[in-house]
Amino acid sequence: MDRYRFLSPLSRASGLGSAKAGFTHWWAERITAIALVPLTVWFAASLIAHSGSDYQAFIAWAGAPVTTVLMILLLLGLFWHMALGLQVVIEDYVHGEAKLWALLAMRFLCVGLPIVGILAALSIAFGKSAPL
């Protein structure tokens, strides 16, 4: 709060007014959280189930269409949820000019990393994975 300016109390409190937004963010956070429950359980269970598999068997599972689709959904849900959550954390704790840079860096990672993952999933699905 800029306490050295002569602002009326109401002017300080009202600031720039309501952004009339925030619902989409809040709702998407909840939707992705719910979506992540089955996706994460599926992912963890599959990894445990394949703990005894060799490379070829694992690649065969990872390249199956159902696995690829679920994997892409998991990556999208996870990083979308992560971006929404980290945005709130940064807005809470980082103030001033650093906030903009922190948000930019966070979004760069949260968009870039799932693209890497999705490309990996697709390359396995289309048989481009490197042989062992």
Partner 1 sequence: MVKTDALIIESSDQVPRRTLFKRFPIPRNFGVSPGSSVERGRNWPAPANATRIKAFDIYRYDPDQKKNPRLDTFEVDLDDCGPMVLDALIWIKSRVDPTLTFRRSCREGVCGSCAMNIDGGNWLACTRFIEETQTPARIYPLANMRIIKDLVPDLTHVFAQYEMVEPWLQSKTAAPERERLQAPEDRAALDGYYECILCFCCTSGCPSHWWNGDRFLGPAALLQAWRWLTDSRDEAAGDRLDKLEDPFRLYRCHTILNCTRTCPKGLNPGKAIAEIKKLVAKRHG
- As measured in angstroms, the least distance from the Cβ of 88 to partner 1 is 7
Query: With binding defined as CB under 8 A, does residue 18 bind partner 1?
Result: yes
Q: Calculate the dihedral angle through the C-alpha atoms of 23, 26, 29, 34, rounding to the nearest 10 degrees.
A: -90
Query: With binding defined as CB under 8 A, does residue 88 bind partner 1?
Result: yes
Query: With binding defined as CB under 8 A, does residue 10 bind partner 1?
Result: yes
Q: SS3 string of 13-56?
A: HHCCCCCCCCHHHHHHHHHHHHHHHHHHHHHHHHHHHCCCCCHH
Backbone phi, psi, residue 131, to 5°: -70, 150
Nearer to partner 1, 9 or 127 (CB): 9
Query: With binding defined as CB under 8 A, does residue 26 bind partner 1?
Result: yes
- As measured in angstroms, the least distance from the Cβ of 87 to partner 1 is 9
Q: How far apart are CA 23 and CA 11, in angstroms?
A: 25
Query: With binding defined as CB under 8 A, does residue 9 bind partner 1?
Result: yes
Q: For residue 131, what is the DSSP state? A: P
Among residues 5, 6, 21, 48, the one that binds partner 1 under rule CB under 8 A:
21
Which residue stretch of 2-10, 39-47, 98-106, 116-124 sits at the interface with partner 1 (rule: CB under 8 A)?
2-10
Q: For residue 64, what is the DSSP state? A: S
Q: Which residues bind partner 1 (CB under 8 A)?
A: 1, 3, 9-10, 12-15, 17-23, 25-27, 88, 91-93, 95
